[in-house]
Amino acid sequence: MQVTLMKSKIHRASVTQADLQYDGSISVDRELMDAAGLLFNERVEIYNIETGARFATYVIDAPRASGIIALNGAAARLAMPGEKVVIVAYACFDEAETETFKPRVVLVDRDNRILRD
């Protein structure tokens, strides 16, 4: 049996851009993608903390250390610059894998910089 678990998330990211004319996706700072283990074109769920909107799209990379979180295409109607979102990727695992798997959780500040403990 396969079980779907959260693979990774970027928590409380600030939307920096919304481009209705771009052909879909969410642009994510490459540094954040790497920290969360997100892949180019990977499906993600986006949860808008401000409005409760929930939607799916795919990830494309934005320049490393740019702080960019940009909603593109139709998704640009679901979160505006300045709003906080959670970006979540899921993966399927065998039941045995679930016992040892640990998701990657990336916490960011208001400028989308990774918070370090």
The catalytic site residues sit at 25, 58
What one-letter code names the amino acid at 70? A
**If you count DSSP H runs as helices and E runs as strands, how many of each does the chain have, helices first?**
2, 8
**What whole-number distance in Å separates Cα of residue 71 and Cα of residue 46?**
10
Residues 6+ apart with CB under 8 A from 55: 45, 46, 75, 78
Closest to 26 in 3D by CA, of 42, 12, 11 = 42
